[in-house]
Amino acid sequence: MTLGVKAKIAVLNVGEIINYVRTQSPDARNLKVLYEPEEADPSHSGIHGFRYDDHLIADLIAETVQEIYPAREG
């Protein structure tokens, strides 16, 4: 996996994502967060239950971000 100079890592709380999206989305969307480790990133997880063009759900998830860090140094 190659990370760009501007790449970021977001820290989110799984329970908070699921509850927030369920209570704030018009369709009470129930997301799933699954642990999906990658060789270069053993902490990786995937958020499932919405499409790439589902901007409302993406915005709701973004509202739950707790911290953001640079993905690489320098």
pLDDT tens digits, 44-54:
899 999 998 99
For the residues 14-20, what does the mean pLDDT come to? 97
Cα distance between residue 40 and residue 43, in whole Å: 9
Tens digits of residue pLDDT in 52-65: 899 999 999 999 99
d(CA 48, CA 31) in angstroms, rounded, equals: 6
Question: Parallel, antiparallel, or unpaired for β 32-35 and 45-48?
Answer: antiparallel
Tokens representing 60 are 């709701």
Q: What's the rounded mean pLDDT across residues 19-40?
A: 95
pLDDT value at position 74? 62
pTM passes above 0.75: yes
What pLDDT sits at residue 44?
A: 87
**HSE, side-chain direction, 13 A CA sphere, residue 20:** 16
